[in-house]
Amino acid sequence: METVVNSQPPFKLSLRLRAAGVLLIVGLAIEILSFFWIHPLAFMGFLVIGCAFLGLGIVLFLWTLVSIAKSGPSA
């Protein structure tokens, strides 16, 4: 059993990593889908929806990294 000494238990971290992963997968899937059409709406969909998921996923991942660094190397 792990003792809960730091404020960020690993469970919470892995939950965040998973959430970041899911966001990124959705973003990349939208990107692939957008390649099916040569059309301004495909471009807009990629830019507005796809890139929003990619951006959120990456930010969430980086934020998780920062909180790991703060809470010490044990995580």
Phi-psi region of 14 (alpha: psi -120 to 50; beta: other; left: phi over 0): alpha
Contact in structure between 64 and 23 (CB atoms under 8 Å)? no
Assess 66 for contact with another protein (CB under 8 A).
no
Assess 48 for contact with another protein (CB under 8 A).
no
Assess 49 for contact with another protein (CB under 8 A).
no
Report how far residue 50's alpha carbon sits from residue 33's, in angstroms, rounded to the nearest whole number. Answer: 10
Positions touching another protein (CB under 8 A) are 10, 13-15, 17-18, 20-22, 24-25, 27-29, 31-32, 34-35, 38-40, 42-44, 46-47, 50-51, 54, 57-58, 61-62
